[in-house]
Structure 1
Amino acid sequence: MKMKLMLVDDHPLFLEGLQYLLETYGIDVAGTAKNGREALAQARALKPDIILMDIKMPECSGIDALRLIKAEMSEIKIIMLTTSEEDEDLFDAVKYGASGYLLKNTNARELVGMLSDLEKGEVPLSPDLASRLLKEFKDNSSYEHASTASTSQDSKGRQLTQRQLEILEMVAKGITYREAADALGLTERTVKYHMGRIIELLHLENRAQVIAYAARMGIVEHK
């Protein structure tokens, strides 16, 4: 797997172990940093493709570093790799442009697989976290926001085919592309193609925004 990766964590032992693990899978670790401030400086110097970054760090947190790096180098994909399961951290990470959110109890094979998926345009986000995001977007979509957005968003939604609406609903529920493909009798590649078209037609950027759109428009109900 050819990608230029940077690691950010304030625990040296974890950092060294993660770097060794990734390199055994053939992933180039271009550099490391121990806090958000160092992460910004290293990102400027190394221009990595992907950054795996902790949230709870001294001096400058991972969320603050995420905001700074994305504002200056939006092309870098940043995944939060953390022990934090706090909703606030998850929602802030997505809001400020994180490409994924993984917990540190993820096993090595899953992590490497998710990094590979990220290169293909997928978002490393578990069904449980997708469900939390959906609830947050529904609970915080005010009537005023919905009414001002509904006309333009609804007109975009009408551009979707019935098949695309089915896929949109399934993805918004946290169902994986593979599971959606099996349920609909399609190939995984076809589902990914449809998701690309959905994101393009709705003028969205990623799967988290698709979840927000589906919640706001009432396409899927959170239980």
Structure 2
Amino acid sequence: MTLRVVVADDERLVCASLRMVLTGEGHEVVGEAADGGRAVELARTLRPDLVLMDVRMPVMNGIEATRRITAADPAVKVLILTTFDLDEYVYAGLRAGATGFLLKDVPPRELVAAIEVVAAGDALLAPPITRRLIADFVGRAPAPRNPSVLDSLTGREIEVLELVARGLSNSEIMAKLHVTLSTVKAHMGKLLQKLDARDRAQLVIVAYQAGLVDLAPGPPPDAGEADANSAP
């Protein structure tokens, strides 16, 4: 499936590199933005599948641009580009509605796999660093733990939510619970609806804030592969 992507970065060399990588894998870069304001405009007019968003840009930063894009059209996914020393931007990006984030030095193959995962409807939660950052983000969030948010869920839905929060993909949940993939996807749909979450990333945050999952769990199963079966 060919994905329509907008690249937002104020460095021309970065934009050119990303375009080369994405088009080389059969995807289409439909627009490039050198600032956040332009990224918002292109997302509105072009309605891409995904925006690959830098954080530090002139006019409007990537966090505010992400907030405006996701508020205007939740169907447009945003994947934030960051570096190890910009963790605070990662947390702000999640709050703004980003579906995932990558380190800027990610290998090309992992970049392509990541955008395909995010565009398919899954949040980019699989890499160990991502799980650690989200756990840290939840630990810093000011909201107290609120287990009552889970009161509307069935026992099976709580079980699925816990596995999602531990980083399992839909296909891994299917194997773990010995159910069909369609059953897992049905549970995912119910979770998104009942918890008023836009994607998998927000489900993970809810699970941590509800106290369903420990903030310092053991190493979760590796779900780093881009799997089309992981979409909700």
Q: 1:115 to 1:52 in 2, by over 3 A?
A: same
1:149-179 per-position Cα deviation (integer Å, ceiling 9, x unaligned): 554x1421xx3233x3333222212334444
Q: 1:184 to 1:26 in 2, by over 3 A?
A: same
Match of 1:217 among 191, 210, 213: 210
RMSD: 2.5
Q: 1:40 to 1:160 in 2, by over 3 A?
A: same
In structure 2, the residue matched to 1:198 is 191
In structure 2, the residue matched to 1:155 is 151
CA offset at residue 31 of structure 1?
1.0
Name the count of aligned residue pairs: 215
CA offset at residue 20 of structure 1?
1.5
1:127–1:173: 8 Å Cα contact kept in structure 2? no
Alpha-carbon distance in structure 2 between the residues aligned to 1:81 and 1:168: 27
Gaps of 5+ in 2: 217-232
> Secondary structure in 1 aligned to 2:124?
coil
Q: What residue identity is the alignment partner of 1:206? A: D
Residue 168 (str. 1) matches residue 168 (str. 2): no
| Structure of greater Rg | 1
1:84–1:103: 8 Å Cα contact kept in structure 2? yes
In structure 1, the residue matched to 2:9 is 9
Q: 1:139 to 1:54 in 2, by over 3 A?
A: closer
Identity across matched positions, percent: 32
1:54–1:80: 8 Å Cα contact kept in structure 2? yes
In structure 2, the residue matched to 1:46 is 46
5 Å-filtered alignment, 1:174-189, equals 174-186=167-179
TM-score, structure 2 length as denominator? 0.79
Which structure is higher in RCO with an 8 Å CA cutoff and minimum separation 6?
2
Alpha-carbon distance in structure 2 between the residues aligned to 1:70 and 1:203: 15
2:82–2:90: 8 Å Cα contact kept in structure 1? no
In structure 2, the residue matched to 1:135 is 136
Gaps of 5+ in 1: none
> Secondary structure in 2 aligned to 1:5?
strand
Q: 1:200 to 1:193 in 2, by over 3 A?
A: same
5 Å-filtered alignment, 1:108-119, equals 108-119=108-119
TM-score, structure 1 length as denominator? 0.82
